[in-house]
Each structure stands twice: as C-alpha cells, then as structure tokens.
Structure 1
Amino acid sequence: MEVLRPTLIRIGGRVYRKTNVREQAHQQEEEEDFYAAPGDAADEPCDAFMIEETERGYRCAMDIPSPLYKYIIGKKGETKKKLETETRTSINIPGPGVEGEIVITGQHRNGVVSARTRIDVLAESFRKKQPFTHFLSIALNQAAIQEKFLQFKEEVLEKCSNDCGISSTLFQNPAKLHLTIGTLVLLNEQEIQKAQELLKKCKEDFIDSITGGKPLTIEVTGIEYMNDDPAMIDVLYAKVHTKDGSKLQLIADRMMERFVTSGLMMKEWDRVKLHATVMNTLFRKDPSAEEQNNRTAGKASKERESFDGRKILKLFENFCFGEVQLNSVFLSQRFSTDNSGYYATSGQITFSCSADSSAPTDCA
C-alpha cells in the first residue's frame, strides 16, 4: 500500500512522491542513475528546475531565506559537505544574514537537479519547525464587540473564578480580537512581498465577485472549546455564524488554498475553522503571546496549565458578543501592534467601503 499511496511532499507549488529505498540493496543502482550522462533526465522532477548549461557544466540558482542557511550548512558545515559529496556538486551559500541566491554548480545535470531537490526538502522541513510570523486575519475589535467581550470576561471571573485554572490572564486582549484564516512563516522581505501580492490577487480573482462589493455580516454567539475534555481546556473561542450564506467560509477556504498552493502556508485542515479566541492558556505565562499555531491547536502541552471550563460552558453557552459587518482582510504581523492596539499589518485588502465596522448590533 505504501507503493500505491506514497507520502506526498509539497515544495514551492510542486508535489513530490517520497519513496522509501533500501540503501544497501540498491546503493550501486542509485549511484549509476544519479550520475547518468548530462542528457539523461531520469532523476529530474516533472516540473523541471531552471538549469543553466555553462562551459564547465551546469548551474542552478535558488532563493532560500537566510534564516534557513544554517540548516543547509549543518554543524561545522557537515550537511553541505555531504550534499556536495553525494551529488558531486559545489554549493555556494551567501554569508549569514545576507539575502541572496544559493548557487549549485556541477559537471552533471542530474547531480545539480538532485542537489537542488535535496536543499528544497531540507529547507521545507525546517521551515515547518519555525514559529509563524504572520497570519491572515479579519479584525473583530470593534467597540461594541470589545464591550461585550469585557462583559463576558467580568461575568466569568465573577461566577467561575473558583474553578480550577481560571484567572484573568487567560483572556484575549480586547483590541486583538480577530478571526484567523491561516498562519504563515515569512522569513524575509521577498516572502512578505509575495504574500502581499497574493492577497491582492485573491481580491481581484474571486473575493470581489463573491461579495459583490458588499460587506459580509456575521453574528458572534456562543462558545466552544478546542480539545475533547471540557474539564481541561486550553483554548476557548466564540462561534461565528454567517448572515450571508457561505460567502465568508468560501472566501476563507479559497484564500487558504491559494496560499497553500503558493507554498506560503501549510494546509492543516480541509476547511478554515472560523472562530474568535477569547481565552487561551498560552496567555497565562505571557499576556503578549498570540493565538497558538493551528498545528498545535487543541493539543496538550506540558508547559500549559489547562482550566476547567465546564461551568463556563454551561452558563455562557449562548452568550452573544454581537453582530458586525466585515469588509477587510489583513496580513497581520504576529507580535507587532499598531497605535490602536491591533496587530500591525503588512498588507490589507478591502472588499467594501460601505461597512460601518464601528457599530455592531446586538444579536436578535
């Protein structure tokens, strides 16, 4: 079944099959394939790399963010030396902190292609381990929503403060209330610019046609938790109910797919979970911490002290935070804030100018 359904790895918009090979049984065969004649493309992916033929052989340049250089170089340069030896290539990497191209040169085309593929896989695997730097968000920090949120916080502390793990430090900053569409790891200015351009492209390609130039109305009512045990909650969130059919969900899902295809976002779920975090145990130790990465949402952590939310769920099951019109999507920076206290933005699109985002209404 592993042969019929191999593991798939997505790198830069391309999809590769990961094949388990028994090195001892096929070592000689692999080496012969690997260093075949320059015209042989047996080791080359379907979507070929840009390989330049030179007087001395072949050359390939690739853009890798500087924070990932150290993983390609390895301890005392061991990873880079191993790559060069096994692919019979020379790999030139810019100095630490210097943004530039990694250049691979070699006498055999397949060797250069393989070195590039291996570097791509290395960079992608370590990129996945980096904390996210940006996220696509829709702000919910309108004055009326903040007022209802503060009422929710006050009543929870008044009625549930004796429950295990409940404290004022668990609550989101009212100025940072938002819906998350997805998280991104953007490691240099070029990647930030790429995300900005893609955000604008989403507006042109499908957002404007879906919204028809009108704001989207949602109702924020009710609460739910991420994990399976209401007595040990890490993340409690407010539920989102759309008033315009499935338009907001469609926009969020299509944006996620577009950013995943571009390689800027990892796909964790089939659909975007539209929610607004109101309590998070990550805030307990660091009030400035952001909403946890989708990759670890709902998973227990030894460093986190969960809280008993059974009473909260019973008393505030249908708590209404208000109804609001939405007209913007932000590319937000994870830790920075602007003058209003909301996340500083690296990019923004507006699909309607008629939304009065400062005046949400009470739920019916």
Structure 2
Amino acid sequence: MEVLRPVLINIKGRIYRKNPVQEECYEEEEDDYPSSGAAAEQCLDEPCDAYNIEQTDRGFRCAIDVPSVLYKYIIGKKGETRKRLESETKTSISIPKQGVEGQIVITGAHRAAVASAVTRVEVLIDSFRRKQPFTHFLSFALNHPQVQQGFLRFREQVLELCGQDAGVDESIFQNPAKLHLTIGTLALLNEQEVTRASELLQQCRDAIRDITEAKPLPVEVRGIEYMNDDPSMVDVLYAKVTVRDGSDKLQQIADRLVEYFAAAGLMERERERVKIHGTVMNTLFRKDPSAEDKGASARPNAKDREAFNAKNILQVRNVIKVTVKTFIMLQKFSISNKCCSSELSIHL
C-alpha cells in the first residue's frame, strides 16, 4: 500500500511523492553529522522554473534558507550525504559552518541539475524538520480573571471530591496563568523563522476581522471532556470552549490560522479541523510542570505516564462544570514571546 499510496510532502505549495526508502540510523559523533539515509533519492525532477535559479558566468546558482540546526542532515556522517547529492546531481553544495545562520548555495553547469539538487535538499530538510521537537505553540490565552477563578474552583472541588481516585492529585492540573486554547504547534528553528511566524500572525488580522465582523466574540468555557476511549485511564482532561451565540466562528478562526501557517510551511496540519480545547489536567505535568513549555523533547513515552481515573470527575458535572464567559477582541492584538520555549499567543 505504500507504493500505491505513498506519503505526500508539501514543500512551499509543491507536492512530492515520497517513495519508501530504508532509513539508516547513525549515532552522532562529536565532529561528525549523521547521514540521512532517507533522503528522497527517487523524487521526481523539479521543473526548472519552480526555483529562483540565477545564471552566472560559471553556470547556474540557487541559494536556499536553511536553519543551521539542519545542516548536519545535509552534510551527513563524514560528509557522505553531501558527497552523494553532489555526485548524483553533478552540482556543488556549499554549506555554512555549523551554528552560523546563512544560506545553502547550490551551483552547477546546468539549470536542471541545480533544480534537481535543490529539490532533493528541500525534501531532505522537510523530512528531518518533521522530527524536530516543537519550540512554539500558537494559542488563544484564557487568562481572563473569571476563567482563572472558575478553574481554581474546579481544581479545589475535584481534589475534595475525587482526590482519592487513582492518579488524581494536584500535580497534574494546569497552571492557572497558562490556561489557553492551543491552535497548533510549530518548530521554529532560528530567529528568522520566529520573525516570519510573528509577521504571518499579524497578517491574519484581516481574516479574523472578516469572521468576527470586527466585533467582540463572546465565548463560554463550560464543561469538560477527555481525549481517549477509557474514562478510567485518562491522560488529558480539557475544558470545552464554544461561542456563546452557538456559531462556529471560533472554529473558523482556528482553522483559518492553521491554513495560513501550514501553507507557509511553518505548521503541520494534523487533522481537517482544529480540536478546540483548553487543557485543565495533563499527566505530563506530574513529573515536570513545565513539560508543555519544553515541547516534544520533554515528553515521556506513553508507558512512562501515569494515567488517572476521571469517571467520578465526569459524573459530578453540576459541581465541576466551569461556566465562565470571556471575550476575544480585535482591539488588543499582540504577540508575546516567553522564555526559551516561547509561546506565540494571540491576544484579541
């Protein structure tokens, strides 16, 4: 089935078919870089006009922006990956020193050869970018005082009524100051990409204004739900957030944001529609309260997480139901960047 329905890769609006290739794993050495092994070696040649290829006195040249953290995957262990790409495409690939942000420059005697090399490098970059832990997340902050107060009451009541249930303790509750609706996660690998994401977020203002008709959007945080099939073995419990008038405007905004960021190559579209939710309990916090801020690199394997029993929490709905109203307003649109694992937050 992998041959009939291969993985499709979207790179800057161009769709590639990734043929199944055996990946090789290498341990990193101090002065060496691992070979990719899984580069799209059989990807189709790219039409020459798909790239900004310049003609020079010595042939043709194309420069592409690549975060320095990904250089090692183009170089490969002992330079094997770069040598293979250069040999197969009859081009020369110049890569800045590790840690120095810049451009990878590909030169060759023929335009088609340079285009082919660029295609392979970009597919290779995309493959390993997907494996990087996310560094930022796009979210709506739920930091209205009423929301925080409602959450604190919810936490107090759950601990009082269900504190004896398996896995339920104070450590797995969200920090009230960090309550938010996650729209999507991003792996922004250098300052240029952070700036690009910030600019794109600002450009989304018009799209959001069109949906809300430039008016405040009252929303309700009401009720809770869990994310798996067994309420007695839950890892994440979240608050349900809806627009007070029953419209799907919040869903439209979330989907539009993901559409913009996915089209720019800054975010992976995981599903057709964004799941609107505000996490209130998460077993990731049990061992590390800042795990969510640190991204995927800090996340334990499923077997290392201790689930909790949410049956009683779900049954006493009249006690733990959170009924708080907040407003998403366009008048206060800004971006906040916090700590080393920053948060791109939309404050509307």
Is it true that 1:183 corresponds to 2:195 in the alignment?
Answer: no
Match of residue 303 from structure 2: 302
Change (3 A) 1:124 1:239: same
Match of residue 220 from structure 1: 221
Output the CA distance in 2 between the equivalents of 1:168 and 1:348: 28
- The one-letter code matched in structure 2 to 1:218 is V
TM-score, normalising length from structure 1? 0.81
3-state SS of paired residue (2:184): strand
3-state SS of paired residue (1:308): coil
Instruction: Note the C-alpha offset of 1:313.
Output: 1.2
For structure 2, which runs of at least 5 residues remain unmatched after alignment?
A: 22-40
Contact 2:146 2:325 in 1 (8 A): no
Counting matched residue pairs gives 323
Output the CA distance in 2 between the equivalents of 1:215 and 1:86: 57
What CA deviation, in whole Å up to 9, does each residue of 1:262-284 have, x standing for no partner?
10110001001111000001101
Match of residue 8 from structure 2: 8
Equivalence map 1:1-364=2 (5 Å): 5-19=5-19, 43-45=45-47, 48-204=50-206, 206-244=207-245, 245-290=247-292, 301-316=302-317, 319-327=321-329, 331=335, 333=337, 336=339, 348=346, 350=348
For structure 1, which runs of at least 5 residues remain unmatched after alignment?
A: 22-33, 35-41, 338-342, 351-364
Instruction: Note the C-alpha offset of 1:345.
Output: 5.4
Instruction: Note the C-alpha offset of 1:347.
Output: 6.8
Instruction: Note the C-alpha offset of 1:330.
Output: 6.0
Contact 2:45 2:119 in 1 (8 A): no
TM-score, normalising length from structure 2? 0.84
Output the CA distance in 2 between the equivalents of 1:300 and 1:220: 30
Q: CA RMSD in A?
A: 2.9
Contact 1:135 1:332 in 2 (8 A): no
Contact 1:218 1:241 in 2 (8 A): yes
Instruction: Note the C-alpha offset of 1:110.
Output: 2.5
Contact 1:59 1:112 in 2 (8 A): yes
Contact 2:240 2:276 in 1 (8 A): yes
Output the CA distance in 2 between the equivalents of 1:20 and 1:159: 52
Instruction: Note the C-alpha offset of 1:153.
Output: 0.8
3-state SS of paired residue (1:302): helix
Contact 1:137 1:331 in 2 (8 A): no
3-state SS of paired residue (1:336): coil
Output the CA distance in 2 between the equivalents of 1:201 and 1:303: 41
Contact 1:330 1:345 in 2 (8 A): no
